[in-house]
Amino acid sequence: MEIKVNGEPRQIEQETSVLKFIQSLGLDSRKVAVEHNGEILEETEFSGKTIKEGDSLEIVRFVGGG
């Protein structure tokens, strides 16, 4: 099925939770902000939100620096 991640089309095998998708990208869920279909999610919501056909995700990683 096709979804959009940061504006780019991406294929995924099946519906999955936002948390599992983030982990599949090798990202730490504590270090990202996620918008799912226009709704900004709290980290506690990642496991309960399911990504389905046609969904859109915006994922931003936190970067430290000085």
Domain boundaries, given as residue ranges, for the chain: 2-61
Gyration radius of the chain's alpha carbons:
12
The Cα-based distances of 43 to 22, 36, 65 in angstroms read 11, 12, 22
Beta bridge partners of residue 26, listed in sequence order: none
Question: pLDDT digit string (tens) for 1-27?
Answer: 999 999 999 999 999 999 999 999 999
Question: pLDDT digit string (tens) for 27-55?
Answer: 999 999 999 999 999 999 999 999 999 99
Q: Which pTM value belongs to this model?
A: 0.90
The domain defined by 2-61 folds into Ubiquitin-like (UB roll) (3.10.20)
pLDDT of residue 64: 74
